[in-house]
Structure 1
Amino acid sequence: MNQQQKSKLGGRRAFMKNGTLILSAAAAAPATLLAADKPADKPAGVRVALVTDLHYADKPPGGSRHYRKTLGKLDEAAKQFEQEQPQMLVELGDLIDAADSVETESRYLQTINRPFSAICKDRHYVLGNHCVDTLKKEEFLGAVEQPKSYYSFDRGGFHFIVLDSCFRSDGQPYQRKNFKWTDANIPAAELEWLAADLKSNDKPTIVFAHQRLDVSNHHGVKNNAAVRQIFEDSGKVLAVFQGHSHRNELKEIGGIHYCTLVAMVEGGEQATNAYTLLDVQPDSTLKITGFRNQNSYLWEPQA
């Protein structure tokens, strides 16, 4: 990273901490008390609940994926989030698993979205490849009452971007089993929108995605180098949170944190659950508290 990039990004650096240690600290001083530690006249930042790859389906397990168990795991996460009081809830894609018919896939979505939507009024859905395996995008979005598949919004002095990589290389959207899951792309129109959105925004920015923007393997968006270049040119993106590959992974590219979160669907026991609380603090410190199998991190701006 050159000096200009360091200047743009405020010299941010990452501090990784073991998930257990963070959680032990949280147990001693609950995250709900963090805002109380701040003077009353200062902003409290933004608290975001994050989940990914729930893959809910009413069908037997497939390998390590226990589709029906997701309901119980989500219930556990909901109880934790109720204590922590996040301002918003984001799921990073693959809320449901694939089905052979529109009727069945719609039923999966209705079943899982009922408890999911009860967690928080301010919620956001990132489209995953399984979300639109049989359903069209407009069908999925209509069912969850979200107008667009990619968009941006502001909360608490920060800018947030939701991306949609469920497009084929020829620009056609995923739907009705018309795609290969390894052919994920952000089309030209969305790239143009992204660049313009970041240019018009003057706030530190966090991005939510499903397919990965930091790898060139089959879990990665094919044109993710172009996406990263837009991020880096803006000098505003703090971090990208993504799912899709079902495991903990963290990369820093061009001064930006790319954090891959663990799938909730993996494993048949509650102990294999995974969900996350993100605290975006006023000075752009990002505290990621992972529960169960999710790692925790602390990223602080350099003094």
Structure 2
Amino acid sequence: MTDSHSPAAPTTERLGRRALLRNGTLLLGAATLPVAAASAADDTARLRVGLVTDLHYADKPAAGTRHYRETRGKLAEAAAEFERQGITCLVELGDLIDAAEEVETEQRYLQTINREFSAICDDRHYVLGNHCVDTLMKEEFLGSVGQAKPYYSFDRQGFHFVVLDSCFRADGQPYGRKNFQWTDANVPQEELEWLAADLAGTDNQTIVFAHQRLDVSNNHGVKNNADVRKILEASGNVLAVFQGHSHQNDLKEIHGIHYCTLVAMVEGSGEENNGYATMEIQQDGTIQLKGFRKQADREFV
């Protein structure tokens, strides 16, 4: 298995007040760590989370760069690595399945890929993506994967995690049954109020998971993401946001919070075009994103 963070020249770049890059590995934390501490991250990880996004599984021929049927093999590779790493929990950042014209077809896609995804880890979390509810209703998707709510929070080992749902139209209506345009992604007022109250209710350092991006104003961004960011910034506890949707590696820092976009698993043919990651949180709150294959296969400066 090829790790995109193979040994390289021992150089260090500073990325804002909470980031450190060492040998291609992005480290996020309350303060930049010395290189010696960063190199020991694998041995001192307090919490290790498996991350995948944009699997777009479907039993249909490839279209352009998207190889839908190959997702199962790519996920199997990720599962083996997650087992080797000993992950605590698993998070899927949206678009687990691709769109279908019929409800029954989309349910079949979901049942097939979730049978394999759910076998990886009992403690798993699903972020809703626009393709997840292209034909299905939210309650149908969530019921099939055994998740009670589309947005919620949970704590693990002294850290707070938030799962957001941006699959709402500008008028507040939830996505479902092809009633939306994918460029019209919003976090409704009710969820914004919930988010503010949730963050106010914890003193723990916090990680946020999203599908549509909270850091851009183009078609891949949540339309009212400035409102979301204002709430995240006001809490003073949010370290980072991990997101998908645009199928590319990207990193932005906005007012001290890092917005890290992960590469899509569906893109490209063959194992060399796979992409997934583990996020490791150390006891001091430092976060290390370790990417495999195409994930984070570049330096952020």
TM-score, length basis structure 2: 0.87
Q: 3-state DSSP class of the match of 1:50?
A: strand
* Aligned length, in residue pairs: 274
Cα drift, residue 13 of structure 1: 2.3
Distance 2:163 2:276 in 1: 19
Question: Which of 8, 15, 18 is the matching residue for 1:13?
Answer: 18
CA offsets 1:47-88 (integer angstroms, 9 cap, x no match): 100000000000001110000000000000000011001000
The 5-angstrom pairing of residues 1-303 of structure 1 reads 12-19=17-24, 34-35=43-44, 45-295=46-296
Q: 3-state DSSP class of the match of 2:87?
A: coil
**Residue 6 of structure 2 aligns with which residue?**
none
Distance 2:26 2:247 in 1: 22
Q: Is the 8 A contact 1:271 1:293 kept in 2?
A: yes
Distance 1:17 1:298 in 2: 9
Percent pairwise identity: 70
Distance 1:58 1:18 in 2: 38
User: Judging changes above 3 Å, is the alpha-carbon distance between structure 1 residues 146 and 297 closer, same or farther for their aligned structure 2 residues?
Assistant: farther
CA offsets 1:246-279 (integer angstroms, 9 cap, x no match): 0000000010000000000000110000000000
Q: Is the 8 A contact 2:26 2:290 kept in 1?
A: no
Distance 1:262 1:96 in 2: 16
Distance 2:267 2:247 in 1: 8
**Cα RMSD after superposing both structures:** 2.0
**Residue 33 of structure 2 aligns with which residue?**
none
Distance 1:209 1:221 in 2: 10
Matched residue type, 1:156: Q
Matched residue type, 2:211: H
Q: Is the 8 A contact 1:288 1:296 kept in 2?
A: no
User: Judging changes above 3 Å, is the alpha-carbon distance between structure 1 residues 79 and 21 closer, same or farther for their aligned structure 2 residues?
Assistant: same
Q: Is the 8 A contact 1:17 1:297 kept in 2?
A: no
Distance 1:54 1:194 in 2: 27
Cα drift, residue 20 of structure 1: 8.2
Cα drift, residue 30 of structure 1: 10
Cα drift, residue 17 of structure 1: 4.0
Distance 1:284 1:62 in 2: 41
The gaps in structure 1 that reach 5 residues or longer are 1-10, 23-28, 36-43
Q: Is the 8 A contact 2:25 2:290 kept in 1?
A: no
Cα drift, residue 284 of structure 1: 1.1
Cα drift, residue 15 of structure 1: 1.8
The gaps in structure 2 that reach 5 residues or longer are 1-15, 28-38
Q: 3-state DSSP class of the match of 2:251?
A: strand
User: Judging changes above 3 Å, is the alpha-carbon distance between structure 1 residues 17 and 245 closer, same or farther for their aligned structure 2 residues?
Assistant: farther
User: Judging changes above 3 Å, is the alpha-carbon distance between structure 1 residues 251 and 190 closer, same or farther for their aligned structure 2 residues?
Assistant: same
Q: Is the 8 A contact 1:287 1:297 kept in 2?
A: no
Distance 2:158 2:278 in 1: 18
Q: 3-state DSSP class of the match of 2:295?
A: coil
Distance 2:214 2:296 in 1: 19
Give every structure 1 segment of 4 or more consecutive aligned residues whose post-TM-superposition deviation is greater than 4 Å: 296-299
Cα drift, residue 282 of structure 1: 1.4
Cα drift, residue 16 of structure 1: 2.8
